[in-house]
Amino acid sequence: MKGLDSFEIRREMTLEELAAFMEAHWDKEEYGDFRVGDPMTSDPDVKTKYIILPATASWCVIIYPKTGGLFKKKNQIKAACTYTSGGAGKLVEHGKKIGQVQTTVDKIKDAKNAKELNEEMNTVADGIMRQYTDYLRELMEREGLLA
């Protein structure tokens, strides 16, 4: 599926362990820097956190570990493209617009924008995400962490 990727790892890993692993091994010159947090807010107290990497002006890549559960016993690293244009401020603006009546022209522009954003995610952002996950997979293989 476009905008999603995952691979299996040998053991459970917390987000903090994954971030420490990336801090020790990630080539920031080649693949850029990353941060831990939520792509939609800069609030440090947010509960759900991810490793965030840039993709395009509108999209970023989030990476996180997924622990095997009762039915799915596989430990995985998951990656996804997520929309982030303007961060939380844009969401507040968008929330205000929901209650307003849009003209036909606005609806056409919104549909065109949505199509362009979807195309950007399916091509550019997805390609960048796959480069990140391929590199992370390679790093984990070197360290014997792949399943």
Residue 58: per-residue pLDDT:
80
- DSSP conformational letter for 58: S
Q: Does residue 63 form part of some domain?
A: yes
Residue 111: per-residue pLDDT:
64
Length in residues, the chain: 147
Distance CA 8, CA 13 (A): 11
SS3 at position 142: helix
* Residue 36 phi, psi (nearest 5): -105, 130
> Which residues of the chain fall below pLDDT 50?
86-105
Q: Does residue 147 form part of some domain?
A: no
- Angle between helix axes 15-25 and 126-142 (nearest 10 degrees) is 80
- Would you state the structure tokens that stand for residue 15, as one six-digit string? 């987000």
Distance CA 38, CA 60 (A): 11
- Would you state the structure tokens that stand for residue 131, as one six-digit string? 């480069």
Model-wide pTM > 0.85: no
- Would you state the structure tokens that stand for residue 35, as one six-digit string? 């941060």
Single out the residue of 64, 114, 75, 71 nearest to residue 94, CA to CA: 114
Q: How many domains does the chain divide into?
A: 1
Domain span holding position 98 = 4-142
Residue 14: per-residue pLDDT:
94
Q: Does residue 121 form part of some domain?
A: yes
